[in-house]
Amino acid sequence: MKQLIIVRHAKSDWGNLDLKDFDRPLNKRGKTNAPEMAHRLVKKNIKPQLIVSSPALRAITTAKFFADTWQMPLAEIQEESNIYEANVNTLLKVINKFDNRFDQIAMFGHNPGLTDLVNYLDGHIYEMPTCGVVILEFPFDDWTMISEGTAKVLLFDYPKNGDD
């Protein structure tokens, strides 16, 4: 079985209006929430084999906080430019190309694409909050088979949930 850990980037800083959207950093709360959420997953013995992230600063920084907590080398984070500003079809193409050597992959990205993806795969979630985590499980061993309605939600958690 394949498991996809979907993580929306942590809260970003809107203080500098001269920055491009792609270059927005995490704000103070984001820098607190990212390690907190990663620790929640560690407590549940959840650690992916691979991290794939949007290269946008707020997403890759969130991924690095998780990688650090999971004790995974930062250099092994795979940046995937197609995740940034992606719709469901684009995100699905990214997932369908994942290497089948990996059974559990964490993907870091953005809304509205991630919420739409979770719902397309069968998540039934109104909106993924910043630094929200959804773990989806699929009943097959090939990433190319992931398609509409094939997922089962194993976990939905987010910072304000307080679910330790």
Reported as a single tens digit per residue, the pLDDT across 97-136 is 999 999 999 999 999 999 999 999 997 899 999 999 999 9
Give the pLDDT confidence score for residue 133 in this predicted structure.
Answer: 97
Torsion-angle region of 131 (φ positive above 0: left; ψ -120 to 50: alpha; else: beta): left
Give the pLDDT confidence score for residue 55 in this predicted structure.
Answer: 98
CA angle 157, 46, 11 (to 5 degrees): 40
Give the pLDDT confidence score for residue 17 in this predicted structure.
Answer: 83
pLDDT > 70? residue 162: no
DSSP-derived pairing of the beta strands 152-157 and 133-138: antiparallel
Give the pLDDT confidence score for residue 164 in this predicted structure.
Answer: 44
Confidence (pTM): 0.96
H or E stretch covering 106: strand 104-109
Residue 89 or residue 18, greater confidence:
89
Reported as a single tens digit per residue, the pLDDT across 22-69 is 999 999 999 999 999 999 999 999 999 999 999 999 999 999 999 999
85-to-48, 82, 108, 122 alpha-carbon distances in Å: 24, 8, 12, 21
11: amino acid identity, one letter: K
